[in-house]
A and B are shown apart, each in its own frame.
Chain A
Amino acid sequence: DIQMTQSPSSLSASVGDRVTITCRASQSISSYLNWYQQKPGKAPKLLIYAASSLQSGVPSRFSGSGSGTDFTLTISSLQPEDFATYYCQQSYSTPPTFGQGTRLEIK
């Protein structure tokens, strides 16, 4: 199975900050990488697919980049509703696997 490792595991930031979360795959996965946001008690929500494509309805302050083994999710200007846990997920091979999550907290 492909292992996905996110960093940092947790992050404190303020409204208006620019934030970057990193995801690394244990082998090359081309651009087969998706990002999800999950708030407490809620289902995950797709933000980015195919490494850099913004899902319909997701604000443009979210962006994704990378290919191969290293990927990033960037939030250009944090809003109060962005405080949540973020997961990367590879779709290069079965089983689809997730990073351990990055918890984004209010500073």
Chain B
Amino acid sequence: EVQLVESGGGLVKPGRSLRLSCTASGFTFGDYAMSWFRQAPGKGLEWVGFIRSKAYGGTTEYAASVKGRFTISRDDSKSIAYLQMNSLKTEDTAVYYCTRESKWLLQYYFDYWGQGTLVTVSS
């Protein structure tokens, strides 16, 4: 059974840092790109960024709203994806989800999601 479990959320002051982890099981983690999304309270879904599999260079892409502040990395030996969040702002307050990206032909979609972890940025 595919499972994604996020951890590391909590209350943090503006300007500080936090690292989220996404621990995967039930599939060959290294074969998949992994994405992070967030959802502010009562709002819709926002893509944060993703990291490609090593087969595709392990490169990353980020939303404009977090570029330069957030970094996604992965440890395939441990089946964990990370989201390092620096210089946090109050507007980063949200539930953060990690997802697995699957492909069909040229299409991609997010077929498994973690349960989410809440990050609250407040003084």
Residues of A within 8 A of B105 (CB): 50
Mask: chain A, 41-59; 1 = CB below 8 Å from B; 0 = not:
0111110011001010000
Q: Is the CB of B97 within 8 A of A101?
A: no
Q: Which residues of B contact A34 (CB under 8 A)?
A: 109-110
- In contact, A50 and B107 (Cβ under 8 angstroms): yes
Determine how close the nearest CB of chain A comes to the CB of B66; give it in whole angstroms.
11
- Chain A interface, >50% SS class: loop
Q: How close is A105's CB to chain B, nearest CB, in angstroms?
A: 16
Query: Which residue on B lies nearest to A100, using beta carbons?
Result: B44
Taken together as a complex, chains A and B put the C-alpha atoms of A36 and B35 apart, in Å, by 16
Chain B, 58-79, CB within 8 A of any chain A CB:
61, 63-64
Contacts of A55 in B (CB 8 A): 111
Looking at the complex, which one of A46, A87, A95 makes contact with B109 (CB distance below 8 Å)?
Answer: A46
B-to-A contact residues, CB < 8 Å: 35, 44-47, 61, 63-64, 97, 104-105, 107-111, 113-116
A–B pairs, 14, beta carbons within 8 Å: A32-B107, A36-B110, A43-B97, A43-B116, A44-B45, A44-B97, A44-B113, A49-B111, A50-B104, A50-B109, A91-B109, A96-B35, A97-B47, A98-B44
List residues of chain B with CB within 8 A of the CB of A46. Answer: 109-111
Interface residues of A (CB under 8 A from B): 31-32, 34, 36, 38, 42-46, 49-50, 53, 55, 87, 89, 91, 94-101
- B79 → chain A, closest Cβ, in Å? 19
- How many angstroms between the C-alpha atoms of A60 and B8 in the bound complex? 37
- Pair A53/B104 contact, Cβ less than 8 Å: yes
Q: A49-B107, A49-B109 are in contact. Are A87 and B44 (CB under 8 A)?
A: yes
Task: Give 7 new A-B contacts, CB below 8 A, not counting A31-B107, A43-B113, A89-B45.
Answer: A38-B45, A46-B111, A49-B107, A50-B109, A53-B104, A100-B44, A101-B45
